[in-house]
Structure 1
Amino acid sequence: MKSRVAVVKTTPETVLDDIDRALELAHVNRFLQKNVPTILKINISWHFWYPACSTTPWQLDGVTAALSRRGYKNLIPAQNRTVVINPKLGAENLHLNSVMEKHGLKFVHLYEPDVEWITYKPKANMLVLDKVYEKQGIQIPKMFIGKNAFHLPTLKTHVFTTMTGAMKNAFGGLLNDNRHWTHSVIHETLVDLLQIQKEIHPGMFCLTDGTIAGNGAGPRIMEPQIKNYLLASADSVAIDAIAAKMMGFDPMKLKFLNLAHEKGLGTARPQDIEIAGEDISTVNFHFESKDTFASKGQKAIYWGKLKPFEHVLLRSPLVPWSYIASRAFHDFFWYNIFGKTIVKKFLNTAWGKLFESYK
């Protein structure tokens, strides 16, 4: 049976109904069990609101309502922190807290002391994770085991993986604070994480928000563009492949998608994927993945001239320098000089007004 990806056009006025339709077209009931809890894997790529960057309030609202309507009762929003992102601040600034309050949901911050992390030994052979975490083992949240996983990414580019979506969204949940250790082998890491997800989750699904899509040096410093699309699928590889194709990339040339396809973890070849809903045969956003000053430095450490110093720079007492540099560039320089102007512009759009309505 072909992997199916639902693609639905939407508007700010109809987005909640359109999310419901996207889930129906992608046969959500066939892939998520109703007798187990469902993790709603939030994506907070920045603790400021910036269009296309993070899970949107209408995305969380629409998915929660659609699942509840179908009899899914125990829904658990969850997200981990990163060394440069504060998810509690993000949940407030992104107006996600108001959605959770509306639906009676409790946000689980995976880095809190009451969340137990365990050493997990995958049944499948890993490409890299067993080597990266050779000393401490692969650590995952115990609470994820036996629960459905529902991913809530946005449609955007990424400086390391060209584009990001369902597969990359697992990165912010399944791996702990030291997940930046995997950046030099990020493509293989995403494939390993997908393999682990298939072992621990009885069902998986994704709703990618492409209402506002991000072009350029994602996942943060992007040029947001209103595209009015929603994508849904139970196949993380297929939904990312179609998102990549719509952005103008060849999915089979993206290493993490090609690897996942070859390992049989999903379908990345667009001609082998069934599209339900919109005809996207001529859709091409002509997006490009670009670099920032910060990402150029990171790439030099992971793959360039500074590679011999990776352990010293990123796995030693010197490591705080990189966090400080990233926060200084993104939060204090770029957001204040450029980001606020873009945010102000988008708050005047229909999507911006919808965002503000979730305050």
Structure 2
Amino acid sequence: DVIISFTQLKYHEEATVTAAIKNIAMGYPPASIHGYPKKQTGIHEDLHGFIRCFAKKVPIDLSIISLDKAMIGTGPSDGMAVDTPGLVIASTDPVAADSIGARLLGFLPQAVCYLYGLYKDGLGEARPENMTILGLDLREAEKIFSKAAYGKKDVMLDKDKLKDIHGN
């Protein structure tokens, strides 16, 4: 058996980013087991801590993050859809996949507490320079996403050069 996370990239008002890791942590187990609405179960008292602990217990084998209908603005439900057909992040390293997704939304991994914690725990890679990225160059993907989201190609995290994990 394998665990595959297939989700859309979104801003999230509490988790900062919704991508592969948060998708699995909040979608499994189902609400019929841990309650609904989830905010009343105590999970949101330390949402980043919950997501991080869940990721350690339930590792993801394949992360697929769609950027077609990605959400910017006030997520998880009141944002604006961004159409970037054909852009997909896929990896067997969920920390790497989510780190790339976070960068497209304008966040370094350290801005996403659970993501940076998982990287520091050694559960995945957050530094693009240590990743093998196939297909589009990260900066080219950022340009495409930025143009679709904001109407400009220069509203991107790595505008002048690829920033390291803590920025420049």
1:172 is matched by which residue type in structure 2? G
Deviations 1:65-92 (A, max 9, x none): xxxxxxxxxxxxxxxxxxxxxxxxxxxx
| Alpha-carbon shift at residue 247 of structure 1 (Å) | 1.7
* Aligned equivalent of 1:157: 11
* Aligned equivalent of 1:216: 73
SS in 1 for 2:65: strand
TM-score (norm 1): 0.36
**C-alpha distance in structure 1 between counterparts of 2:44 and 2:123, whole Å:** 21
**Higher percent of residues as helix:** 1
Deviations 1:195-218 (A, max 9, x none): 1113xxxx6112111112110111
* Aligned equivalent of 1:237: 95
| Alpha-carbon shift at residue 154 of structure 1 (Å) | 0.2
SS in 2 for 1:256: helix
**C-alpha distance in structure 1 between counterparts of 2:117 and 2:43, whole Å:** 16
Deviations 1:34-80 (A, max 9, x none): xxxxxxxxxxxxxxxxxxxxxxxxxxxxxxxxxxxxxxxxxxxxxxx
**C-alpha distance in structure 2 between counterparts of 1:204 and 1:174, whole Å:** 17
TM-score (norm 2): 0.74
| Identical amino acids, percent of aligned pairs | 27
| Alpha-carbon shift at residue 160 of structure 1 (Å) | 0.5
Alignment of 1:236-315 (within 5 A): 236-282=94-140, 283=142, 285=145
**C-alpha distance in structure 2 between counterparts of 1:241 and 1:256, whole Å:** 11
Answering whether residue 29 of structure 2 is matched by residue 174 of structure 1, we say: yes
Answering whether residue 62 of structure 2 is matched by residue 205 of structure 1, we say: yes
Deviations 1:299-348 (A, max 9, x none): xxxxxxxxxxxxxxxxxxxxxxxxxxxxxxxxxxxxxxxxxxxxxxxxxx
| CA root-mean-square deviation | 2.0
Conserved in 2, the CA contact under 8 Å of 1:158 and 1:219?
Answer: yes
Between Structure 1 and Structure 2, how many residues are aligned?
138
**C-alpha distance in structure 2 between counterparts of 1:273 and 1:191, whole Å:** 21
**C-alpha distance in structure 1 between counterparts of 2:138 and 2:128, whole Å:** 11
Conserved in 2, the CA contact under 8 Å of 1:252 and 1:268?
Answer: no
* Aligned equivalent of 1:187: 48
SS in 1 for 2:123: coil
Alignment of 1:31-50 (within 5 A): none
Deviations 1:246-287 (A, max 9, x none): 122112221111100011111122222221111122415467
2:58 is matched by which residue type in structure 1? Q
Deviations 1:115-172 (A, max 9, x none): xxxxxxxxxxxxxxxxxxxxxxxxxxxxxxxx31111110111111111111101121
Moved over 4 A (4+): 284-288
* Structure with bigger gyration radius: 1
